[in-house]
Chains A and B, each alone.
Chain A
Amino acid sequence: MLYNTKKITTALTSWGALYDPKYKGQITIPNNPIQIADAAFYLQHSQPDLGIKDPYELNKKQFDATIAVLKDQRKLVKLYWNYDTDGRAAFANGDVSLGAIWPVDTLALQAKGVPVKEVIPTVGATGWADTWMLAAKAPHPNCAYEWMKYVTTPQVQAQQALIFGETPVNPKACPNMNKIEAGSCAKYHLNEPLNYYNKIKFWKTPIANCGDGKNDCMDYNAWQTAWTQVTG
Chain B
Amino acid sequence: MTEFAEAGASLRGARLRLSAALWRRPWLKLGLLLAAPVLVFAVVYLGALVSLFVSAFWQIDSFTAAVIHKWTLDNFKTLWNDHTYWRITGRTIGLAVTDAVLAFPLAYFMARIAPPRWRALLFVAVLLPLWSSYLVRIYAWRTILAKNGALNWVLNGLGLPDAGLAYTNTAMWIVFSYVWLPFMVLPVYAALERIPDSYLEASQDLGAKGSRTLRSVILPLAIPGIVAGSIFTFSLTLGDFITPALVGGAGSSFIGNIVEDKVGQPDIPFAAAFATVPVVVMGIYLLIARRLGAFEAV
Measured between beta carbons, the chain A residues less than 8 angstroms from B246 are 86
Q: A77-B250, A79-B249, A228-B84 are in contact. Are A93 and B146 (CB under 8 A)?
A: yes
Minimum Cβ distance to chain A for residue B85 (Å): 8
Bound Cα distance from A131 to B251, whole angstroms: 33
Bound Cα distance from A129 to B62, whole angstroms: 21
Minimum Cβ distance to chain A for residue B291 (Å): 33
Contact of A80 with B250 in the complex, beta carbons under 8 Å: yes
Measured between beta carbons, the chain A residues less than 8 angstroms from B147 are 93-95
Q: Tell whether A109 is near chain B: CB-to-CB under 8 Å.
A: no
Bound Cα distance from A79 to B260, whole angstroms: 17
Minimum Cβ distance to chain B for residue A125 (Å): 22
CB-contact partner of A78 in B60, B143, B249, under 8 A: B249
Bound Cα distance from A63 to B5, whole angstroms: 90
Q: How large is the interface on A (under 10, 10 to 19, 20 to 34, 35 or more residues)?
A: 20 to 34
Bound Cα distance from A31 to B246, whole angstroms: 13
Bound Cα distance from A220 to B65, whole angstroms: 9
Q: Tell whether A207 is near chain B: CB-to-CB under 8 Å.
A: yes
Q: A74-B251, A77-B250, A207-B63 are in contact. Are A93 and B166 (CB under 8 A)?
A: yes
Measured between beta carbons, the chain A residues less than 8 angstroms from B166 are 90, 93, 95
Which A residue's beta carbon lies closest to that of B162? A94
Bound Cα distance from A31 to B252, whole angstroms: 12
Contact of A207 with B149 in the complex, beta carbons under 8 Å: no
Bound Cα distance from A207 to B64, whole angstroms: 10
Measured between beta carbons, the chain A residues less than 8 angstroms from B218 are none
Contact of B63 with A205 in the complex, beta carbons under 8 Å: yes
Contact of B62 with A208 in the complex, beta carbons under 8 Å: yes
Q: Tell whether B82 is near chain A: CB-to-CB under 8 Å.
A: yes
Contact of A94 with B250 in the complex, beta carbons under 8 Å: no
Residue interface mask A79-102, B partner, CB < 8 A = 1: 110100010011001110000000
Residue interface mask B230-254, A partner, CB < 8 A = 1: 0000000000000001100111010
Measured between beta carbons, the chain A residues less than 8 angstroms from B142 are 89
Q: Tell whether B133 is near chain A: CB-to-CB under 8 Å.
A: no
Q: Which residues 152-207 in A have Cβ within 8 Å of B in the complex?
A: 205, 207
Contact of A90 with B167 in the complex, beta carbons under 8 Å: yes
Contact of A229 with B148 in the complex, beta carbons under 8 Å: no
Most chain B beta-carbon neighbours within 10 Å: one of A82, A207, A229, A232: A232
Minimum Cβ distance to chain A for residue B169 (Å): 13
Measured between beta carbons, the chain A residues less than 8 angstroms from B62 are 207-208, 219-222
Bound Cα distance from A77 to B249, whole angstroms: 8
Minimum Cβ distance to chain A for residue B125 (Å): 28
Measured between beta carbons, the chain A residues less than 8 angstroms from B250 are 74, 77-80, 231
Q: Tell whether A225 is near chain B: CB-to-CB under 8 Å.
A: yes
Residue interface mask B116-142, A partner, CB < 8 A = 1: 000000000000000000000000001
Contact of A229 with B84 in the complex, beta carbons under 8 Å: yes
Measured between beta carbons, the chain B residues less than 8 angstroms from A82 are 245
Contact of B63 with A232 in the complex, beta carbons under 8 Å: no
Q: A224-B265, A224-B267 are in contact. Are A232 and B245 (CB under 8 A)?
A: no
Minimum Cβ distance to chain B for residue A28 (Å): 9
Residue interface mask B161-173, A partner, CB < 8 A = 1: 0000011000000
Bound Cα distance from A117 to B251, whole angstroms: 27
Minimum Cβ distance to chain A for residue B95 (Å): 15
Minimum Cβ distance to chain A for residue B78 (Å): 7
Contact of B167 with A78 in the complex, beta carbons under 8 Å: yes
Residue interface mask B34-76, A partner, CB < 8 A = 1: 0000000000000000000000000010110000000000000
Q: A224-B267, A228-B84 are in contact. Are A94 and B148 (CB under 8 A)?
A: yes
Minimum Cβ distance to chain A for residue B239 (Å): 17
Measured between beta carbons, the chain B residues less than 8 angstroms from A31 are 261
Q: Tell whether B219 is near chain A: CB-to-CB under 8 Å.
A: no
Bound Cα distance from A33 to B143, whole angstroms: 28
Report the 4 A-B pairs with minimum CB-CB distance, sorted nearest first: A93-B146, A94-B147, A221-B62, A77-B250
Q: Beyond A86-B245, A207-B62, list 7 extra A-B contacts (CB 8 Å).
A: A78-B167, A79-B250, A95-B167, A224-B262, A225-B78, A225-B82, A232-B253
Which residues of B come within 8 Å of A, CB atoms? 60, 62-63, 78, 82, 84-85, 87-88, 142-143, 146-149, 166-167, 245-246, 249-251, 253, 258, 261-262, 265, 267
6 contacts between A and B (CB under 8 A): A205-B63, A208-B62, A220-B62, A222-B62, A229-B84, A232-B84
